[in-house]
Amino acid sequence: MSVQTRRAVKRECEVLIIGSGIAGAALAYFLTECGVDDVIVVEREAQAAYHASGRSAASLVELDINPVIQRLKMLGGNFLRDPQHGFSEYPIVDRAGVVMLFQQPRWSELDAEAESLRAEGLALELLTPARAAELFEGRLDAGAFDGAAWLEDGGYIDVHALLSGYISGARAAGAEFRYNSEVESLLCSGGRCSGVSCVGETIAARWVVNAAGAWAGEIAAMAGATPIRFSAKRRCIATFRPPPGVDPRRWPMLWSDPHRFYFRSDSSGVWFCPMDEEEMEAGDPHPDDLAIAAGLDRLSRVFPSLVPRTLGRSWAGLRTFSPDGVPVVGEDPGLPGFFWLAGQGGCGIETSPVLGRVAAELLSCGESSLFETSRLRPHRFLPTRTRLTGA
pLDDT tens figures, 267-298: 779 999 999 999 999 999 999 999 999 999 99
Structural domains present in the chain: 3-53+160-230+323-389 (3.50.50.60), 98-152+232-319 (3.30.9.10)
Question: Which is more confidently placed, 391 or 97?
Answer: 97
Confidence of residue 381 (pLDDT cuts 50, 70, 90): very high
For the chain, percent of residues with pLDDT exceeding 90 = 87
Q: Give the pLDDT of residue 11.
A: 86
Helix 22-33 and helix 348-365, axial crossing angle in degrees, nearest 10 = 40
Average pLDDT of 219-235? 96
Average pLDDT of 164-185? 96
Confidence of residue 52 (pLDDT cuts 50, 70, 90): low
pTM of the model: 0.93
Confidence of residue 109 (pLDDT cuts 50, 70, 90): very high
Q: Give the pLDDT of residue 276.
A: 96
Please give the C-alpha separations between residue 76 and each of 72, 126, 154, 366, in angstroms, as whole numbers: 6, 23, 12, 21
